[in-house]
Amino acid sequence: MRIDLYIVLIMWMTLVKNTYGQEVSVLQLKGFMPGTFLNPGLPLDKKVNISIGSFGLSGGTNGPGIGDITSKNLDGKRYIDLDKFSGNLNPTKDVFGQSEIRTLDFGIRFGNFALIAGHAMKAYGNLSYTSDLIHLAAYGNGNYIGKTLDLAPVLDVSAYNEIYIGAQKTSGRFTLGLKAKLLYGISNIYTETSDVKLTTSAEYYQLQFKNDYVIRSSGLLRYYSLDSITFDNSLVSFDNFFYNNRGFAVDLGASFKVNENLTLSASALDLGSISWDFFPRKYSSQGTFTFEGVDIVDYITDSTLTVSDTLLRIIDVKSDIEKYSTSLNYTFTLGGLYQSGRWSFNALYLLQNKFGQRNHILSLSAIRKIGFIDLGLQYRIAKNDYAGLGLFSRMQFGPVALYLASDNIMGLFNIENAKSASIRFGTTLQF
């Protein structure tokens, strides 16, 4: 028995080429509109503040890199090597990615008070896969007679538009910030429960599936049968704007200016949820299903009969129309900025919730101003990923500034061995 890994491998190869946690670069833009993306309590410097066309990608894996699970043929072309793949796994691994497109953000400051507003289009996803699933695909079930395998993948994907309005208030050394965000979902896949066990009997090699698997989708997944599943990849869209899949969230932030050089900050982002009511589907497979084999007489006399068709027919999958809701992937941050002359030093700790899994990230950076250019290095530490050396640059031309940052510059040029990579860029205007 072999499992089709199309979804697992395509998702993995796609997401790892995207990007993961480049927020320290936004902290370096304190005083500009992008600084409020990370913390609405970071005060704006000027009366009029605009951000145009901000774009960020982040992604990676806590499992093997591309080079760890692929080989090259005689022509030098890389291919998926399942034997190599299966030798590089712990029980469960994840592949994750996210993107953020901000069309326009602006803020107007009136003394110690500021109003901010803007629009963003966000998409993020996570795929968890088990080593048992990969081993089964690589070797079949012959090596697992009398054993039980855990096969259930967990796929969570969400894309939505947000429109927000907020405010900042400075009192003495403190600045408090708040954003209220209206959300409009584009598409979603949500794995509610994931338990699929496969046991191969040692007596007659019967296959027994014990399933408790529920997955929900709005607009993204189309299920027809176990061998006919399609995906709509419209993760960047204005579909359902203002009328479907509504949600609400808030961002909270605060900063404290210790002295002329040091500023401390903290924030809580994306506290909210989305209710999915646009073609909401619930697909579930629950129960015990046993495959006894194929009758040899039927197999000989019926040329259209296949073992795979028979196996797929025994697994019951129900499809229902049912509304549901999902929480956003919230983030908590603690930051510190120290400026002295032409130098600035930044530290940022993040606690990120990604589809129920908590991730801890620490980023450090040092920036040097050279004329109209700011250049710097940044270093990020995350679980199973200690090679996050990145670059930051910002060029100021009068009221206009361009910025570009990556938290793992080597990952952008060495995709085969990278565990993560990121890039963020945009344009700001102040006067």
pLDDT tens per residue across span 130-189: 888 877 877 777 777 888 888 888 999 999 999 999 999 999 999 999 999 999 999 899
Q: What is the pLDDT of residues 334-350, one digit of tens each?
A: 999 999 999 999 999 99
Residue of 412 and 302 predicted with greater confidence: 412
Rounded Cα gap, residues 72 and 81, in angstroms: 9
Report the DSSP pairing between strands 48-61 and 92-110.
Answer: antiparallel
pLDDT tens-digit map of 20-45:
444 677 888 889 999 999 999 999 99
- The confidence score (pLDDT) of residue 400 equals 96
Q: Any residues with CB less than 8 A from the CB of 204 and at least 6 apart, and which?
A: 292, 293
Tokens at 67, concatenated: 């080079």
**Quick one: 142 exposed, middle or buried, by C-beta within 10 A (0-12, 13-18, 19+)?**
exposed
Average pLDDT of the residues of the chain: 82
**DSSP-based three-state secondary structure for 210:** strand
Least confident span in 57-71, 272-286, 353-367: 57-71
Phi-psi region of 135 (alpha: psi -120 to 50; beta: other; left: phi over 0): alpha
- What's residue 82's pLDDT? 67
Contacts of 189 (CB under 8 A, 6+ apart): 155, 156, 157, 158, 215, 216, 217, 220, 221
The residue ranking higher by pLDDT, 407 or 318, is 318
- Residue 270 Ramachandran class (φ > 0 left, ψ -120 to 50 alpha, else beta): left
Residues 383-408: what's their mean pLDDT? 85
* Residues, the chain: 431
- 228: phi then psi, degrees, rounded to nearest 5: -145, 85
Contacts of 143 (CB under 8 A, 6+ apart): 135
pLDDT band at 10 (very low <50, low <70, confident <90, very high): very low
Distance in angstroms (rounded) separating the CA atoms of residues 396 and 367: 15
Residue whose C-alpha is closest to residue 156's, from 105, 100, 221: 221
139 contacts 86 by C-beta, under 8 angstroms: yes
pLDDT above 60 (res 4): no
| Residue (of 213, 212, 198, 80) closest to 147 by Cα position | 198
**Mean predicted confidence (pLDDT) in 248-275:** 96
Which comes out higher in pLDDT, residue 67 or 95? Answer: 95
Q: Which residues contact 430 (CB under 8 A, 6 or more apart)?
A: 32, 45, 46, 48, 49, 50, 399, 401
In tens, the pLDDT along 242-255 reads 788 999 999 999 99
Q: Which residues contact 79 (CB under 8 A, 6 or more apart)?
A: 70, 71, 72, 73
Q: Is the pLDDT of residue 311 over 70?
A: no
Contacts of 23 (CB under 8 A, 6+ apart): 38, 331, 333, 348, 350, 363
From 17-21, 196-200, 209-213, 405-409, the region with the lowest mean pLDDT: 17-21
Neighbours of 216 (CB within 10 A): 22
Which of 48-57, 143-152, 376-385 has the highest mean predicted lDDT (pLDDT)?
A: 48-57
Q: Tell me the β-bridge partners of 254.
A: 176, 266
Which pairs with CB-CB distance under 8 Å and at least 24 residues apart come from 221-224?
221/189, 221/281, 221/283, 223/281, 223/283, 223/317, 223/319
pLDDT given at position 249:
98
Q: How many CA atoms lie within 13 A of 198 on its CB side?
A: 24
pTM, full prediction: 0.86
Please report which residue ranges of 333-405 form alpha helices under DSSP H.
none
